[in-house]
Amino acid sequence: MRWLSVALLFVLALLQYPLWLGKGGWLRVWDVDRQLEQQREANAQLEARNAGLDAEVRDLKQGFDAIEERARFELGMIRNDEVFVQVPERGETAAAPAPPAEAPPQAQAKPSAKKAGR
């Protein structure tokens, strides 16, 4: 009876090996499911990015609003009838004003030192 139990246990172990560790075993199935879920998430992110790019392309082809917005914000352009006003930040106004320009001092010509090898 003892040998029969050992033999059946051995057969059970032989049958379980391919189920858990074989090429199509549960561990491989779980790993492939995990990879599939990661790929689906990556695809969803790429689809969202593509939808945004598609909307931008359609906007650039159909209307001038997107072109005007890019020209204003990326290139700093304004229309002919507009006036550009730049408001300095608070940190910039705290700086001391530049002193008034005076006449440039008379610079005397200094003899230049010759470099070795010339």
Q: pLDDT per residue over 95-110, tens digit each?
A: 555 666 665 556 555 5
Q: pLDDT per residue over 7-63, tens digit each?
A: 888 888 888 877 777 777 788 889 999 999 999 999 999 999 999 999 988 887 887
The answer to whether position 86 is within a domain reads no
The answer to whether position 112 is within a domain reads no
Identity at 14, one-letter amino acid code: L
Number of domains in the chain: 1
Domain interval for residue 72: 40-77
pTM for this entry: 0.43
Q: What is the 3-state secondary structure (H, E, C) of 20-32?
A: HHCCCCHHHHHHH
3-class SS shares of the chain: helix, strand, coil, % to 5: 60, 0, 40
